[in-house]
Amino acid sequence: MAILPILCYPDPRLHKVAQPVTMVDDRVRALLDDMFATMYDAKGIGLAATQVDVHERIVVIDVSEERNAPLVLINPEILWASEETRVGEEGCLSVPGIYDGVERALAVRVRALDAQGQEQVIEAEGLLAVCIQHEMDHLMGKVFVEYLSPLKRGRIKTKLLKQQKQQQPQAVRA
């Protein structure tokens, strides 16, 4: 298993729409292992393939305290979302250190393939429902900060670009 680099906002690759997985094979299962390793290493609860620059409809999630309830969603689609919504604080591995309120459905029903390519239907509420919606947004090329006002989004973009610039090694002048 490898720890994959996570793309950071405002990287334009985060806005690519992911393509459906045509076959769940050893390549996809190896990617799932790498995605779980990456998510756990980064202390996240969800990761979309888009975030590791793989533009396929693949999501891994584990919202358990013990980090022992891995969930795989391949080609996920929301079948139903509750009309009742709630604004909750969200963060994102691709937007490090930034948290803000996003309105999401309280419950969802999702159909997806598992790691063996078997269809599953998942009923989710609370944190799991929020996480599924957040990660599925990534598959559509949408980052959670896009729910925020243009002013907030601009400030976040400026802050993250400044941080990225400071982290790059400076050229040595002779």
In angstroms, how far is CA 120 from the centroid of its own chain? 20
Instruction: State the Cα angle at 73 between 71 and 79, rounded to 5°.
Output: 115
* Residue 40 near residue 66 (C-beta atoms within 8 A): no
pLDDT tens, 30-73?
A: 999 999 999 999 999 999 999 999 999 999 999 999 999 999 99
pLDDT tens, 111-145?
A: 999 999 999 999 999 999 999 999 999 999 999 99
Class of 12-167 per CATH? alpha beta
Tell me the one-letter amino acid at 72: V
* 131 annotated as belonging to a binding site for a ligand: no
Pairing of strands 85-92, 95-105: antiparallel
Q: Where are the domains of the chain?
A: 12-167
* 134 annotated as belonging to a binding site for a ligand: yes
Residue 18 has pLDDT above 90, yes or no: yes
* 138 annotated as belonging to a binding site for a ligand: yes
Q: Please identify every residue annotated as catalytic.
A: 135
**Among the listed residues 145, 147, 124, 106, the one whose alpha carbon sits nearest the alpha carbon of residue 59:** 124
Q: How is residue 136 annotated by DSSP?
A: H
pLDDT tens, 89-118?
A: 999 999 999 999 999 999 999 999 999 999
